[in-house]
Amino acid sequence: MQIEVPIPKALERKYPEPVVLVVSVSKDGKPNAMAVGWYCIVSYEPFMFAVCIDSEAYTYQLIQETGDFVVAFPSEKQAKETLFLGTHHGHKLDKIERCKLKLSPASKIKSPLVADAVANFECVKEMIYQPGNCPIIIGKVVAAHINSDTKLQRLYTVAKNYKLSGVVPAR
Amino acid sequence: MQIEVPIPKALERKYPEPVVLVVSVSKDGKPNAMAVGWYCIVSYEPFMFAVCIDSEAYTYQLIQETGDFVVAFPSEKQAKETLFLGTHHGHKLDKIERCKLKLSPASKIKSPLVADAVANFECVKEMIYQPGNCPIIIGKVVAAHINSDTKLQRLYTVAKNYKLSGVVPAR
């Protein structure tokens, strides 16, 4: 039976939810990354990702400057780094250095890959929509990469308050 | 280490991925539902969902006609119904009747709720974007509901070829 509740209460039922890292780079080559839960595939031909990023975020500013970004699937082993990247601001500190996130060069864009992620998608910014209080950045995927360790699992937010873990099928 | 691969190959690393049902209704009150994997929260104030639905889909036509839809989180017990709703066309048959999906009235819109889902969000269509080959329908949430059984888990696509299951944290 369904019970009507306030929207935030119903949203507590959305977990586990996969999380991605969005990696960007400044004009002078300094990388940044943030954790994003609001993302989605939005086209298959061409292949496109949508990522929702607040216009105040440093990542938003960098994507506007350089025009590209990487969508990475962090692995279940990267919970600590992902939590750090999702709860600190790149305006104020070098998040990549502080959490020792290992990066590697992309093949077609300036933003780098997350070396130990499950997969990485190189994206070129195509357009930005804003239906509500958050911009939706649309990126066309121009290259994709997977980890050579194909046993690695993705990372999920498994409960509110940023509780992160891998998940396995229930049965 | 990252290895460059074709995009579809990298996408195989995205699972498990939560799936939603999008419920709509015709002008004469006949409901329809489809399974959607490409969806995303895109605004918190007002609260909005984006759902990517092909313009050929019967659901797309119904949302255009009546202007509202429900985003439901199917439960892990609804794998069979969700698979059916995701692999058949509403143009051709009464999918709701065929899979015996139990519905219940929404409080503010015409499209009905999924009675046994984990949660339901009543959405009013706000706008449609199309960055690539698939329309993105933006819905403003006007009411939310949860199942009285709060132990119910959501349903996920756990592998390619529509393998569906609940998931649990890995550790």
pLDDT of A22: 98
Chain A residues whose CB is inside 8 A of the B119 CB are 10-11, 13-14
- Between CA A45 and CA A27 the distance in angstroms is 30
Domain coordinates in residue numbering, chain B: 18-151
Instruction: State pLDDT tens for residues B117-164.
Output: 999 999 999 999 999 999 999 999 999 999 999 999 999 999 988 999
Chain B partners of A10 at a C-beta cutoff of 8 Å?
119-121, 144-146
Q: Do B129 and A129 touch (CB under 8 A)?
A: yes
> pLDDT digit of tens for each residue in chain A (171 aa)?
999 999 999 999 999 999 999 999 999 999 999 999 999 999 999 999 999 999 999 999 999 999 999 999 999 999 999 999 999 999 889 999 999 999 999 999 999 999 999 999 999 999 999 999 999 999 999 999 999 999 999 999 999 889 999 999 996
Q: What is the distance in angstroms between the CA of the first residue and the CA of the last residue of chain A?
A: 25
- Residue ranges of A 66-125 with Cβ closer than 8 A to chain B: 73, 76, 104, 107, 113, 115, 117-121
**pLDDT digits 0-9 by tens, B11-20:** 999 999 999 9
Predicted complex ipTM: 0.96
B92 pLDDT higher than 90 = no
- Distance separating alpha carbons of residues A17 and A166, to the nearest angstrom: 10
Q: Give how far B128 is from chain A: nearest CA, Å.
A: 9
Predicted pLDDT at B21: 98
Q: At residue B89, does pLDDT exceed 80?
A: yes
- CA B33 to chain centroid, in Å, comes to 8
Chain B contacts of A119, Cβ < 8 Å?
Answer: 10-11, 13-14
Residues of A in contact with B167 (CB under 8 A): 16, 156, 167-170
Superfamily name and number for B18-151? Electron Transport, Fmn-binding Protein; Chain A (2.30.110.10)
Model pLDDT for residues B24-43, shown as the tens digit of each residue: 999 999 999 999 999 999 99
Q: Which of A48, A118, A136 sits opposite B13 (nearest CB)?
A: A118
Residue B171 pLDDT > 90: no
CA distances B149 to A92, A157, B51, B138, B152, Å, are 44, 22, 26, 29, 6
Q: What is the mean pLDDT of residues B48-59?
A: 97
Phi, psi angle pair for A157, to nearest 5°? -85, 115
Question: How far away is chain A from the Cα of B26, in angstroms, using its nearest Cα?
Answer: 23
Nearest to A167 by CA among B14, B7, B58, B80: B14
| A80-113 burial code (b ≥16 CB/10 A, e <16) | ebbbbbbeeebeeeebbeebebebeebeebbbbb
The DSSP-derived string for chain A is -EEEE-HHHHHGGG-SEE-EEEEEE-TTS-EEEEEES-EEEEEETTEEEEEE--TTSHHHHHHHHHSEEEEEE-BGGGHHHHHHHHHS-TTTS-HHHHTT--EE--SSSSSPEETTSSEEEEEEEEEEE-SSSS-EEEEEEEEEEEES-TTPPBPEEEETTTEEE-EEE--
pTM over 0.90: yes
| Interface size, chain A vs chain B, as Cβ–Cβ contacts under 8 Å | 225
Nearest in space to B69 (alpha carbons), one of B34, B43, B17: B34
Instruction: Please tell me the predicted confidence (pLDDT) of residue B141.
Output: 98
Query: Cβ neighbours of residue B149 under 8 Å, at least 6 residues apart?
Result: none
